[in-house]
Structure 1
């Protein structure tokens, strides 16, 4: 008796916002994994100011890890969401979860207004939650969302969005950007070590396949 083979379950990407007041302030699991992800890496030069001699000596120095930006397009559709919330408010909930990663919490806003009315002008701006971009077991990186474009493509009779696309631009936060006490500092370091291990694996594969024709110098 033959049966249809069961295909392995595909992992889903996610964006997770964490802060010390609420460890899981916002969890957005992608309803559909994006077909494409665009990553842009810009080298961080370690070149110092000075004359030509200094410029030549610093030409190959690195000031830190590259500045990396990630762009993804997320799609949400109420028709494919489980539960009754989607039928009542459409895709407002997942959109709100993403948007709140860019908002200061209302409690901080109210507290700051109270201090201003009490005559205390100086106050500390609230810290954004640590946002993680999760794309498989080898890519969990801290990011800061720099831009978000939401396109609502369909609405129900109460004008709730029932289908939408979200274009996200994210700046990857490395140990160059974060304090060593921040959990994201260690997360990025693990991410880099994983890349280094993958690069070594690729080198071994390349040498094995190139054979004696490989000449480095």
Structure 2
């Protein structure tokens, strides 16, 4: 919804971009309203041996999970039915289907595997969900995998199409340990990793002089 204050700063929209590789034409899911909060959980991966001197050793990057809720409402579109025929006919089904599609393999591949199975073939192609990139501002673009997707449909039109919904998402960040170097998501993660290093080096929010004076080493 456009702000009524013309001098208000433009707020970037978050979203998810999904690629069904090797296709490079993405499905783009723009958040109608940005989530009010994002919960991030990082679980360090400690070294397996656990011997003396290994206390600070890690086995790769931490396992990171992001959780947030997306609000979707068709009210704005339904106020202008002449301009939004798809919303008038389908409500929020297209938006919900796009989100659910993050967890499904492509239908064409499933159908092809079913044909191979009926024909008695021992070879079937791997059914993979799309490569999803969470876009949360220019400094946080991350390859992710949907861990859980909970949809609460809260209102319906006369045809029982959902017109207001809340979607709770839990996303696992995919790292260089999860992705092959030939996967575009690998390089997306490495770019984010580099960005994190740069941001850490800019950490001058507080004066550390007093703490430095107390350091024994």
CA distance in 1, matches of 2:53, 2:48: 8
CA distance in 2, matches of 1:5, 1:155: 33
Q: CA RMSD in A?
A: 1.7
CA distance in 1, matches of 2:21, 2:65: 26
Offset, 1:5:
5.7
Match of 1:60 among 56, 59, 70: 56
Name 1:36's counterpart in structure 2: 37
Name 2:73's counterpart in structure 1: 77
Count of matched residue positions in the alignment of Structure 1 and Structure 2: 206
| Structure 2 unaligned regions, length at least 5 | 78-82
Query: C-alpha offsets along residues 11-48 of structure 1, whole Å, 9 cap, x if unaligned?
Result: 00001101235323421100000000011000011232
Name 2:92's counterpart in structure 1: 91
CA pair 213-113 structure 1, distance change in 2 beyond 3 A: closer
| Structure 1 unaligned regions, length at least 5 | 49-53
CA distance in 1, matches of 2:100, 2:130: 12
CA pair 55-118 structure 1, distance change in 2 beyond 3 A: same
- Between stretches 151-160 and 78-87, larger displacement belongs to 78-87
Q: Is the 8 A contact 2:61 2:175 kept in 1?
A: yes
Query: C-alpha offsets along residues 72-110 of structure 1, whole Å, 9 cap, x if unaligned?
Result: 100100012472211211111110001111112111111
CA distance in 2, matches of 1:114, 1:205: 60
CA pair 24-60 structure 1, distance change in 2 beyond 3 A: same
- Between stretches 128-137 and 114-123, larger displacement belongs to 114-123
Runs of 4+ in 1 over 4 A off after TM superposition: none
TM-score norm. by structure 1 comes to: 0.89
Matches within 5 A, 1:6-155: 6-48=7-49, 55-81=51-77, 83-155=84-156
CA pair 29-115 structure 1, distance change in 2 beyond 3 A: same
Name 1:214's counterpart in structure 2: 212
What SS does the corresponding residue of 2:84 show, helix, strand or coil? Answer: coil
